[in-house]
Amino acid sequence: MNSSEEIAVSGMSAGRSAMRMGPAELVQAAAMARRFYLEGKSKIQIAEEFGVSRFKVARVLETALERDLVRIEIRVPAELDAERSDALRARYGLRHAVVVESPAEAEETPDPENLGEVAADLLGELVNEGDVLGMAWGRSTIHMAAALDRLPPCTVVQLTGVYDAGTSERGSVEAVRRAAQVSGGDAHPIYAPMLLPDAATAAALRNQTGIARAFEYFDKVTVACVSIGSWEPGISTVHDMLSDEERAHYASLGVAAEMAAHLFDAEGRRIGRDLGERCITVKADQLRRIPEVVAIAGGQRKASAIDAVLRSGLVTSLVTDTSAADYLMTAGPTPKPALSRQDPDGQ
């Protein structure tokens, strides 16, 4: 995923502006440029080799760039959009933003599978030996786990309960175990539903030994992966688990997005905190204290939800696609920088 730089050094075949240099100057400039850009020699080393001052070397190199004798090209893999990535990172004050080209045949599909593949590569960069990696339920995090092929030794903990929508995807428990297998570290899955009928049942489950052990790691998580859902069927885990009456209630509060079973309005403020009491999930203030929270979400249908969650200040990095990125770059007023990690309740 790292960008690569290609240095093209040409001699007599340079453009017309470069031809104004004499042949000896052209040959010397090309040789110096080759030493500096391709061989990695310092200006002092080049000066010593050619018997000139380092200031002379600096002028020659500058002239070589101005007159198109040297061309520098920054290249990234075709599926990555470097310009959109940098613009999105700056707009939301993110630590990392990676924008992937949207598949032409799946323009309306949220979270294309290639997002998970790119997120897996990003995770390989972000996770260090000894870290605690947290993973919340979501199709995108499941895709990411399936694509993982490298992780340093780390502990992997599940951040939310499970949700069985009758889909063909392997679940969050398997994703946690897969990540731990790749890293060679310990796995702490949660064998419990994400949403319970009432707060008392949820509290009782949290006190069960295996679940309580996983919860003990929540304050130790250093890197977290989360998914984002918009408030509509099939794109929000919480929406699909609630009754029609409950959906209408939270819709009346202005819900625009959900992440790790937490609900947000369009401004990124947390709403419906009573729902959280019924959920097996990491707390919002715990998420806010995690140094690196990577959200994986894309598609036009999720674009406004992604904007809402980014405005909450809980996310530090984002993997998305060009379809969502184009919306995000013009979505309302410029948000506060995410790295300020403001209170998710808007206080």
Q: How many CB atoms lie within 10 A of CB 17?
A: 11
Same domain, 241 and 119: yes
Q: In the predicted model, what is the mean pLDDT of residues 283-303?
A: 94
CB 135 within 8 A of CB 158: yes
| 251 or 333, greater pLDDT | 251
Name the domain boundary from 39, 67, 95.
67
Residue carrying the six token digits 């929270």: 293
Same domain, 39 and 152: no
Same domain, 139 and 227: yes
> Alpha carbon 335 to chain centroid distance?
18
Same domain, 176 and 53: no
Report residue 338's pLDDT band, with 50, 70 and 90 as the boundaries: low
Residue 168 has pLDDT above 90, yes or no: no
For residue 331, being part of any structural domain is answered with yes
Same domain, 112 and 47: no
Residue carrying the six token digits 């949207």: 102
Distance CA 102, CA 99 (A): 9
Q: Torsion angle, CA of 212/172/344/200, rounded to 10 degrees? A: -40
For residue 10, being part of any structural domain is answered with no
Supply the pLDDT for residue 238: 82
Q: Evaluate the CA torsion angle 302, 303, 309, 314 in order and state its sign.
A: positive
Q: In the predicted model, what is the mean pLDDT of residues 70-95?
A: 82
Same domain, 236 and 106: yes
For residue 3, being part of any structural domain is answered with no
Q: In the predicted model, what is the mean pLDDT of residues 253-261?
A: 93
CB 256 within 8 A of CB 278: no
Name the domain boundary from 67, 97, 129.
67
Q: Residue 170: is it exposed, middle or buried by C-beta count within 10 angstroms (0-12/13-18/19+)?
A: middle
Q: In the predicted model, what is the mean pLDDT of residues 208-219?
A: 94
Q: What is the CATH number of the domain that holds 38?
A: 1.10.10
Residue carrying the six token digits 């080209």: 101
For residue 120, being part of any structural domain is answered with yes
CB 192 within 8 A of CB 163: no
Ramachandran region of residue 63, left (φ > 0), alpha (ψ -120 to 50) or beta?
Answer: alpha
Report residue 250 as tokens: 């939270």
Q: In the predicted model, what is the mean pLDDT of residues 218-225?
A: 97
Distances (CA, A) of 192 to 100, 161, 163, 204, 286: 34, 5, 9, 11, 20
Give the H or E element holding residue 140.
helix 139-147
For residue 13, being part of any structural domain is answered with no
Q: In the predicted model, what is the mean pLDDT of residues 24-48?
A: 88
Residue 125 has pLDDT above 50, yes or no: yes
Residue carrying the six token digits 């110096």: 32
Domain count, the chain: 2
- pTM for this model (two decimals): 0.75
Same domain, 131 and 251: yes
CB 147 within 8 A of CB 114: no
For residue 296, being part of any structural domain is answered with yes
Distance CA 250, CA 247 (A): 5
Same domain, 201 and 303: yes
CB 188 within 8 A of CB 218: no
Q: What is the CATH number of the domain that holds 197?
A: 3.40.50.1360
Supply the pLDDT for residue 8: 53
Residue carrying the six token digits 């593949």: 117
Same domain, 54 and 139: no
Q: In the predicted model, what is the mean pLDDT of residues 140-158?
A: 93
Supply the pLDDT for residue 157: 97
Supply the pLDDT for residue 56: 93
For residue 6, being part of any structural domain is answered with no
| 318 or 82, greater pLDDT | 318
Same domain, 236 and 105: yes
Residue 12 has pLDDT above 50, yes or no: no
Same domain, 244 and 195: yes
DSSP letters spanning 81-128: -HHHHHHHHHHHT-SEEEEEPPPGGGTT-SS-HHHHHHHHHHHHHH--
Supply the pLDDT for residue 240: 81
Distances (CA, A) of 196 to 71, 114, 125: 61, 32, 36
Q: Evaluate the CA torsion angle 243, 249, 254, 255 in order and state its sign.
A: negative
Same domain, 85 and 63: no
Supply the pLDDT for residue 266: 94
Q: What angle do CA 138, 142, 144 make, to 5 degrees?
A: 115
Q: In the predicted model, what is the mean pLDDT of residues 159-185?
A: 79
For residue 74, being part of any structural domain is answered with no
Domain extent at residue 186 = 80-340
